[in-house]
DNA sequence: GCCAACGTTGGC
DNA sequence: GCCAACGTTGGC
């Protein structure tokens, strides 16, 4: 079981949106490091849903990976902002996974809250200028965030 | 292969 | 709105 953090701007797609649709392809990732993490995901892995570009930035809930990485169809759609003319089925560039909502945090955990948690001291998320939108978490980071958010540690 | 210019992310 | 961080692009 691996743990992850996935960022989304809530104005674009929020945790409440994920709860409403139940299941969603995590598409539009156009960064190689983030893509490589997507490809490491396994159904059953748990993740934190982070709301970026909002005031204050915060973790809103827990998600679960429900389908392993497969081709992100937006890379082949010329009408999409995520279209990539250099990608092809033979030389695939971008992947996505499907995720589902597990539970909303009773208390959203802000970036400031995370900085106060000793378990998060080494996380790139709490460092200035971090732009990675998909990153692995240690079990200690994951569980500490759940505690801070008011969820029991066993959400699986 | 280097690196300057540029673009994007995302906190503040 | 500003700007730090940093990935990408393209000239050479």
pLDDT band for A154, please (50, 70, 90 cuts). low
Q: Which residue is nearest to nucleotide B10 (CA to C1')?
A: A53
C-alpha dist (Å) from residue A106 to A35, A109, A114, A133: 30, 9, 16, 23
- Domain segments of chain A as ranges: 3-149
Q: Which residue is nearest to nucleotide C7 (CA to C1')?
A: A31
The kind and range of the H/E element at A34 are helix A32-40
Question: What whole-number percentage of chain A has pLDDT above 90?
Answer: 88
Nucleotides of B under 7 A from a protein CB: 8-12
Per-residue pLDDT averaged across A24-46, rounded? 96
pLDDT band for A153, please (50, 70, 90 cuts). confident
pLDDT over 60 at A86, yes or no = yes
Q: What is the CATH number of domain A3-149?
A: 3.10.590.10
pLDDT over 60 at A156, yes or no = no
pLDDT over 90 at A90, yes or no = no
Per-residue pLDDT averaged across A119-137, rounded? 94
């Amino acid at each position: 079981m691996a743990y992850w953090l996935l960022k989304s701007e809530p104005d674009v797609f929020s945790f409440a949106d994920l709860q409403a649709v139940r299941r969603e392809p995590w598409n539009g990732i156009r960064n190689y490091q983030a893509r490589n993490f997507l490809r490491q995901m396994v159904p059953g892995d748990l993740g934190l849903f982070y709301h970026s570009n909002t005031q204050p930035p915060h973790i809103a809930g827990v998600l679960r990976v429900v389908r392993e990485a497969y081709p992100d169809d937006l890379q082949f759609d010329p009408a999409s902002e995520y279209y990539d003319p250099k990608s092809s089925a033979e030389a695939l560039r971008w992947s996505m996974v499907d995720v589902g909502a597990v539970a909303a945090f009773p208390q959203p955990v802000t970036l400031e809250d995370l900085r106060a948690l000793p378990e998060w001291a080494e996380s790139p998320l709490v460092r200035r200028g971090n732009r990675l939108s998909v990153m692995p978490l240690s079990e200690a980071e994951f569980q500490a965030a759940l505690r801070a958010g008011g969820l029991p540690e066993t959400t699986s």
